[in-house]
Structure 1
Amino acid sequence: MTIRESKKLWLACGVGLLWFLILLWPMLGITPDGLEFGKTLTVFGYVVVASVIIMLFYQIQQAGKLDAVGTPLKAATVSVQGLYERTPRWVLLSIVMGCAIAYPLLTERYAHDVAIQVLVYVCLGLGLNIVIGLAGLLDLGYIAFYGVGAYTYALMSLHFGLSFWLCLPVAALTAAIAGCIIGYPTLRMRGDYLAIVTLGFGEIVRLILNNWMALTNGPNGILSIPRPELFGYSFRSLSSMYYVILGIAVITILSVYRLNYSRIGRAWEAIREDETAAELMGVNTFLLKLLAYAMGATFAGFAGAFFSARMKFVGPESFTFLESAMVLAMVILGGMGSIPGVILGVLALVALPEVFREFELYRMLVFGGVMTLMMLIRPAGIWPAKRVGRRSEEAE
């Protein structure tokens, strides 16, 4: 690295730290008692020291002085990757499934709660992955289908006395119908226009849930939603509810995997890459995009029904645009079109903030910085989807 490049790098680091100070001081320096600078400068000092250490480490690495350490690590990484590729898939899946089944037996109530939340978002993330990752349709109102599934179970269980297991497919079907209703007039649009329209429809659904007092009880929500029961056994504890959502998540993963490697999945990928070319090749683009919306909404309906059963309460404030943005961030961060990537994205956005909860205000600040850095280092996501086949330019 030349001296000029080094100066540019340090100048960029200094400008970034200055912006960080400008953003940090209003958060920590403005208090009810007046203005203070001590706390801001303390936190800023820690960040400056960490940034300088990282910069020095980066320059040493660029100079090639860490090759003696990096080469063995790279070789170890390659060997581990080779071992992973040689291991039969059923062995890996058996280990993961065994750990998932034993998880509630080895952890406490708080860990059960976090795991349930993770699995709910896995269902949501994989459903949105069909729409965005496979079909390439930017949907900013996806959480509306989550709300439709939740309210479907709440209303049918209270007014008709139906069990959770009977309402579960009905909630998924209702969400799929809602997806078709929303998708039919919007899918003729593309790009930013599609995103804006789906955002509008998501807000319309939330406002309907908030204002239709006779059906949804408006902002007061619906209370006393029954928990699932099976052969007289009531799933009241968090550990038992964990196994319910684990089963739903496993079904979701298997379904999305089969869809991904089916002819429909290939058609979705063709639409994502070039919709005009796919249509010229005989792909019914409109029908398949509508199917992508319906299938994505189906898994959101499953998650919504479980959410209302677990919370025993459902209200419109649970289905805001922020939730849609959160699920979208999980899909993009993990890797669009990749099932393991989406699961890792959910863990990164749901589980990690809980791990660092003791840092209170700083945890979200650090978390946002790590997310930004992650997208700069790996823009394709934590675990990008593997392309089937190779392009001609890649072969060259």
Structure 2
Amino acid sequence: MKLAIALIAALAVAALPLMTSSNYIIGVGISALIFTVAAAALNLIYGFTGLLSFAQLGFWGIGGYVTALTVVTFGGNFWWGVVWAALLNAVVALAIGYPTLRTNRHAFVIMTLTFALLVTLIARDWVDLTRGPLGIPNLPKPSAFGYHFGTTGQYYWVAWAFSMAMLGFLYALCSSRIGRTLVAIKQNEPLVRAQGIAPMPYKLSAFAISAAVTGAAGGVFTFHLGIIDPLFLDFYYMQTFLIIVIIGGAGSFWGVIAAGIALSALPEVLRFSADFRMIIYGVILVVAMFVMPSGVAGWLRERQLARMREQLR
């Protein structure tokens, strides 16, 4: 039933460029698709293992820069740029995940935040590679099989196809034995160890896959913007992904997807005041955690269980 609804929703989302000619609305749609993918990737590591990774912001930035540099500096094409972004992020995640995942959760948060800040500094200060604050402008839209995705409406199909592929992959992963094992590790790691299962390979794999998907999403989003600079690593991107996961319900795949689509306009709504944007994001996060600590999906489950208990009385 859920898959049927998801298929209908996917087809409805695909029809957006056919329903409007507004580049602004279509652009918001592209943001919704890419942000939902990035949030679903964060949900894999945070929702399924309980590890809050701020490294996602660094992976997002690396993905954007690698894709842009592949095209502009090294003369490659967009598609290979996205692939290289995913692969490089997976390798980086394995390198930093091996030591950090062996620490406690508080140290993991601090270390991943440090990594994200380090990537931001590199993007700003390694001028020979990233062009620093000037960034890399005029990124060309991609082509495939002789068709050029030159307009916002045409590029929407790229974002849609990419998002469907990534979300389908993440759904299959979360629904598999690997996903169930990750949930078991989150709930009771000592018990998992007692059953002869080593948690480390599962957590490291989830971290690397999450990084790869986030990096690929960053690459696709970069070419939607047409430019990348250090502002691409603005912390509000991380806040957006985190808000989507918390409101949707950490560990709930469908809850995060629904929240990602519903909250897609949030960055646009908050553009009216860049000075207070971070404060507003923080307030939304705190309120969401207090009012619905399990997210919308968890709140709905609790309501359903409450009704069932009342009916049994």
Distance 1:149 1:297 in 2: 9
Change (3 A) 1:337 1:244: same
Q: Normalising to structure 2: TM-score of the pair?
A: 0.86
Q: Which residue of 1 aligns with 2:16?
A: 103
Distance 2:281 2:54 in 1: 23
SS in 2 for 1:138: coil
Q: Which residue of 2 aligns with 1:179?
A: 93
Letter paired with 1:232: G
SS in 2 for 1:350: coil
CA contact (8 A) 2:243 2:284 kept: no
Distance 1:182 1:234 in 2: 38
Q: Which residue of 2 aligns with 1:213?
A: 127
Q: Which residue of 1 aligns with 2:228?
A: 314
Distance 1:356 1:141 in 2: 24
Q: Which residue of 1 aligns with 2:77?
A: 163
1:273 aligns with 2:184: no
Identity of aligned residues (%): 35
- The 5 A counterparts of 1:342-353 are 342-351=256-265
Q: Give the alignment partner of residue 118 of structure 2, picking from 187, 195, 204.
A: 204
Q: Which residue of 1 aligns with 2:41?
A: 127
Distance 1:386 1:229 in 2: 44
CA contact (8 A) 1:122 1:346 kept: yes
Letter paired with 2:226: K
Change (3 A) 1:153 1:358: closer
Q: Which residue of 2 aligns with 1:242?
A: 156
CA contact (8 A) 2:68 2:81 kept: no
Distance 2:133 2:276 in 1: 32
CA contact (8 A) 2:101 2:108 kept: yes
CA contact (8 A) 1:212 1:218 kept: yes
Change (3 A) 1:317 1:192: same
Q: Which residue of 2 aligns with 1:31?
A: none
Q: Give the alignment partner of residue 378 of structure 1, picking from 265, 283, 292.
A: 292
Distance 2:139 2:274 in 1: 33
Letter paired with 2:40: L
Query: Post-superposition shift, 1:295?
Result: 0.5
Query: Post-superposition shift, 1:259?
Result: 0.7
CA contact (8 A) 1:147 1:319 kept: yes
Query: Post-superposition shift, 1:293?
Result: 0.9
Change (3 A) 1:313 1:358: closer
Query: Post-superposition shift, 1:148?
Result: 0.9
SS in 1 for 2:140: coil
Distance 1:162 1:353 in 2: 31
Pick the structure with greater CA Rg. Answer: 1
Distance 1:307 1:359 in 2: 23
CA contact (8 A) 2:149 2:155 kept: yes
Structure 2 unaligned regions, length at least 5: 303-308
Change (3 A) 1:102 1:143: same
Q: Which residue of 2 aligns with 1:301?
A: 215
CA contact (8 A) 1:140 1:325 kept: no
Query: Post-superposition shift, 1:125?
Result: 0.1
Q: Which residue of 1 aligns with 2:306?
A: none
Query: Post-superposition shift, 1:151?
Result: 1.0
CA contact (8 A) 1:203 1:321 kept: no
Query: Post-superposition shift, 1:134?
Result: 0.8
Query: Post-superposition shift, 1:373?
Result: 5.1
CA contact (8 A) 1:253 1:339 kept: no
1:224 aligns with 2:138: yes
Distance 1:333 1:92 in 2: 21
SS in 2 for 1:236: coil
- The 5 A counterparts of 1:1-396 are 88-107=1-20, 108-351=22-265, 354=268, 374-384=288-298
Query: Post-superposition shift, 1:280?
Result: 2.2
Distance 2:89 2:276 in 1: 38
Letter paired with 2:243: A
Show CA shifts across 1:278-336 (max 9, x none).
22222221221111110101111111111222222111221133322331121111101
Structure 1 stretch displaced more, 263-272 or 362-371: 362-371
Structure 1 unaligned regions, length at least 5: 1-87, 388-393
Distance 1:365 1:206 in 2: 21
SS in 2 for 1:383: helix
| Number of aligned residue pairs | 301
Q: Which has the higher contact order (CA 8 A, sep 6+)?
A: 2
Query: Post-superposition shift, 1:189?
Result: 1.0
RMSD: 2.9
Change (3 A) 1:176 1:332: same
Show CA shifts across 1:220-279 (max 9, x none).
211232211012221111111111111111111111111111121122112111222222
SS in 2 for 1:189: coil
